[in-house]
């Protein structure tokens, strides 16, 4: 099974900061990677898929990149509403796996 290692587990940043979250897969997942945002009491929301494609309606300050085993989510200019937990998810064959999550707080 493919394991996903996400880091950091938490981070605190200021409004306007550039924020980066990373996920490393234990094997090449060929860009079969998605990123989700989850706010308390809500289901996860798809942000990006296929490693770098922005989901419909997602602000352009969110972007992602990567290949093979290493992937990155970037928020270019942090906004107060970005306070949430972020998860990566590989869907390269089954079983899928989620990363452990990154809790993002606003300073």
Strand extents, DSSP E, 50-107: 53-54, 62-67, 70-75, 84-90, 97-98, 102-106
Verify binding: residue 91, other proteins, rule CB under 8 A: yes
Q: Write the binding mask 56 to 75 for other proteins: x where contact by CB under 8 A, - elsewhere.
A: --------------------
Stretch that binds other proteins, among 20-28, 59-67, 71-79, 94-102 (CB under 8 A): 94-102
Backbone angles phi, psi at 81, to 5 degrees: -75, -5
Q: Write the binding mask 7 to 46 for other proteins: x where contact by CB under 8 A, - elsewhere.
A: -------------------------x-x-x-x----xxxx
CA dihedral 31, 33, 37, 38 (to 10 degrees): 180
Binds other proteins (CB under 8 A): choice among 23, 25, 37, 49: 49
Q: Is the omega angle on the peptide bond into residue 8 within 30 degrees of 0, that is, cis?
A: yes
- In angstroms, the CA 75 to CA 23 distance is 15
Per CB under 8 A, residues contacting other proteins are 1, 32, 34, 36, 38, 43-46, 49-50, 55, 85, 87, 89, 91, 94-101
């Amino acid at each position: 099974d493919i394991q996903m290692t996400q880091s950091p587990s938490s981070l605190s940043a200021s409004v306007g900061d550039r924020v980066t979250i990373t996920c490393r897969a234990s094997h090449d997942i060929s860009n079969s990677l998605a990123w989700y945002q989850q706010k308390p009491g809500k289901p996860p929301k798809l942000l990006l898929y296929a490693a770098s494609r922005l989901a419909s309606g997602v602000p352009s300050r969110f972007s992602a990149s990567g290949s093979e085993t290493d992937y990155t989510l970037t928020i270019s200019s942090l906004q107060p509403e970005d306070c949430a937990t972020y998860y990566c998810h590989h869907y390269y064959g089954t079983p899928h796996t989620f990363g452990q999550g990154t809790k993002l707080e606003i300073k």
